[in-house]
Structure 1
Amino acid sequence: MDFTECYGGTVSRVAAAARSGSRKRVRRLIRRGFSVDCRDNRGWNALHEAAAAGSTECVQELLSAAGAGSSHGCRAYVNTLTHEGESACYLAAQRGHLAVVRLLLKAHANIDQLTNDLSCPLYAAVDGGHKEIVELLVSKGAEVNRKHTSSWWTCLHQAVYKGYSEIVRILVNVCNLEALDDHKISPLFVAAQYGQQECLEILVNAGANVNIQAADLATPLLIASQEGHQACVDFLVDHGADPNINCSNDWPQLPIHAAAEFGHIGVLRRLIAVTDCDCGHIDGMVSPLYVAIYSRQSKCVELLLKEGFSPDAQDCTHTLGLRSPLSLALCHTTNKPFSESVRLLVAAGATVTEENWIYALATDKTDLLQLILEHRWIPRPDTLIKDCSVPHHHGKTVLKLQELRELLCVALDQVHFAACWLPLLLKAGLEPSLLLQAHMLEQADSDVLNYLLEFVNWSTLAAPLKHILDQRRVTKTCEPCQDFDSIPCLSHLCRLKVRAVLGPDLLMRTNVVQQLPVPSPLHGFLQFRSIQEVSYRHSSPPPLLNLIQEYHSTHQHRHVI
Structure 2
Amino acid sequence: MATKISTSRQQTSTLGSEEYSLYSSMSEEELIQMAIEQSLMDPSSGQTAAQGHQKLVATASEEAATASRPNRAPHSSTWAQNFQSQPNPKNREQDPIVVAIMNGDTDTLTNIIKSERNLAEPNKDGWLPLHDASYYGQLECLKLLLKAFPATIDRRTLQEETALYLATIRGHIECINYLLQCGAEPDIANKSRETPLYKACERKHLEAVKLLVQYNSDVNHRCNRGWTALHEAVARNDLEAIDILVTGGAKIEAKNAYGITPLFVAAQSGQLDSLRYLAKCGAEINTQANDSASALYEASKNGHTSIVAFLLSQGADANKANKDGFLPLHIAARKKDNEEIVSMLIPVTSRVRIKRSGISPLHIAAERNNNGSLEELIDAGYDVNATLSFERARLYEDRRSTALYFSVINNNIDATEMLLDAGANPNVDIINPLLISIRHGCLRTMNMLLDHGANIDAYIATHPTAFPATIMFSMKYLSMLKYLMDLGSDADSCFICEYGNGPHPPVEDSRRREFESENTANKQPKIIQFCEMVSTPEFSRWAGPIIDVLLDYVGNVQLCARLQEHLDSYEDWAGIKRKADPPRPLVHLCRLKIRSILGRNRFALLDDLPLPQRLIQYLKYEC
Common topology (TM > 0.5):
yes
Structure 2 counterparts to residues 98-117 of structure 1, below 5 A? 98-117=173-192
Report the equivalent of 2:105: 22
The match for 1:190 among 249, 265, 268 is 265
Q: Is the CA contact 1:98–1:133 (under 8 Å) kept in the aligned structure 2?
A: yes
Contact 2:486 2:620 in 1 (8 A): no
Change (3 A) 1:437 1:62: closer
- Give the 5 Å matches for 1:238-249: 238-247=313-322, 249=323
Does residue 175 of structure 2 align to residue 120 of structure 1? no
Aligned mates of 1:151, 1:351 — CA distance in 2 = 50
In the superposition, the TM-score normalised over structure 2's length comes to 0.62
Per the alignment, in what secondary structure is the counterpart of residue 90 of structure 1?
Answer: helix
User: 1:155-201, CA deviations, whole angstroms, 9 ceiling, x for partnerless residues?
Assistant: 11122223323212222332111211211122222222222232222
In the alignment, the residues of structure 1 paired with residue 481 and residue 101 of structure 2 have an alpha-carbon distance, to the nearest angstrom, of 92
2:327 is equivalent to residue 327 of structure 1 = no
1:49 to 121, 132, 135: 132
Separation in structure 2 between the aligned mates of residue 161 and residue 449 of structure 1, nearest angstrom: 71
On the 8 A contact 1:21/1:55 being kept in 2, the answer is yes
User: Residue 241 of structure 2: which of 156, 167, 171 is its match?
Assistant: 167
Q: What's the counterpart of residue 553 of structure 1?
A: none
Question: Does 2:282 correspond to 1:179?
Answer: no
The one of 472, 483, 489 equivalent to 2:586 is 483
> Per-residue displacement from partner, 1:18-74 (whole Å, max 9, x unpaired)?
3322334434443454444243333332322222232333333333334xxxxxxx3
Task: Look up the match of 1:134.
Answer: 209
Report the alpha carbon displacement of residue 86 of structure 1 after superposing the two structures with TM: 1.8
Deviation of 1:480 after TM superposition, in Å, equals: 5.0
Q: Which moved more, 1:352-361 or 1:259-268?
A: 352-361
Aligned residues: 461
Among candidates 375, 385, 399, match of residue 312 of structure 1: 385
Q: Over aligned residue pairs, what C-alpha RMSD do you find? A: 4.4
After TM superposition, give the deviation of residue 226 of structure 1 in Å.
1.9
* Structure 1 unpaired stretches of 5+: 1-6, 67-73, 378-396, 454-465, 514-519, 536-561
Q: Which segment is superposed worse, 133-142 or 273-282? A: 273-282
Cα-to-partner distance string for 1:65-96 (whole Å, 9 max, x where unaligned) = 34xxxxxxx3x232222222222222222222
The residue correspondences of 1:214-229 to structure 2 (distance < 5 A) are 214-229=289-304
Contact 2:491 / 2:553 at 8 angstroms: preserved in 1?
no
d(CA) in 1 for partners of 2:311 and 2:437?
50
2:621 to 533, 537, 551: 533
- Relative distance call for 1:184 and 1:265 in structure 2 (3 A) is same
| 1:124-175 Cα shifts (integer Å, max 9, x gaps) | 2222211112112112211111111x31211111222233232122223321
TM-score w.r.t. length of structure 1: 0.68
Q: Distance in 1 between matches of 2:585 and 2:606?
A: 32
Inter-CA distance 139–311: structure 2 relative to 1 (3 Å threshold): same
Give the deviation of 1:218 after TM superposition: 1.6
Asked if 1:413 is matched to 2:413, the reply is no
The 8 Å contact of residues 466 and 494 in structure 2, kept in 1 or not, is answered as no
Q: Distance in 1 between matches of 2:468 and 2:554?
A: 16
**Structure 1: how far apart are the matches of 2:602 and 2:432?**
26
Distance 2:100 2:157 in 1: 18
Partner of 1:273: 346
Q: 1:284 to 1:452 in 2, by over 3 A?
A: farther
Which residue does 2:142 correspond to in 1? Answer: 59
Aligned to 2:24: none
Instruction: Name the structure, 1 or 2, with higher relative contact order (CA <8 Å, separation 6+).
Output: 2
Map of 1:330-349 to 2, 5 A cutoff?
330=408, 332-333=409-410, 340-349=414-423
Residues 436-445 or 22-31, more deviating: 436-445
Give the AA of the match of 2:468. D
Is the 1:259–1:268 contact (alpha carbons within 8 Å) kept by the matching residues of 2?
Answer: yes
Give the conservation status (yes or no) of the 8 Å contact 1:193–1:220.
Answer: yes
Aligned partners of 2:159 and 2:191 also within 8 Å: yes
Match of 2:275 in 1: 200
Give the structure with higher Rg (CA).
1
Contact 2:164–2:184 (CA under 8 A) maintained in structure 1: yes
Identical amino acids, percent of aligned pairs: 25
Secondary structure of the 2:618 match is coil
